[in-house]
Amino acid sequence: MTPETDCGHLLCEIISGSCSLATGISRGCHSGAGSGSRSVAPDVVEEVRSLLAAIDPDARDERVQTAAVRLAEIMRREARDGRPLLAHVRTEEPGLAPALAHLCVRRR
């Protein structure tokens, strides 16, 4: 297993870099963020579902890393647009929530 990252996200460990989930926006006021719809599109949820199926947290091969990088991109994009993906999944797709949380919630 690779060493833990400073951020504590398993997804970032799989990618082997700095925090891949950092959005570059503060947790405070988000005026102007999310000018589009506040709901996550069904095709995004389906892509996340397929990426989660491809990510084996114990493997570090190219396929797993590619899926992890793509998942991090989606997480950042949705957050920047005011659509926190994990919060959406927890309420609308509870079957995906444990796997996504395992990868994207800080473990410390």
27 falls within a domain: no
Please give the Cα distance from 92 to 101 (Å, whole number).
14
- Domain assignment of residue 102, given as a range: 1-19+40-108
Per-residue pLDDT of the chain (108 residues; tens, 9 = 90+): 445 668 889 999 999 877 888 766 655 554 554 445 678 999 999 999 999 999 998 988 999 999 999 999 999 999 999 999 999 999 999 999 999 999 999 886
65 falls within a domain: yes
8 falls within a domain: yes
If we measure between CA atoms, which residue out of 91, 9, 12 comes closest to residue 45? 91
33 falls within a domain: no
103 falls within a domain: yes
Q: What is the pLDDT of residue 38?
A: 77
For residue 50, give the amino acid letter. S
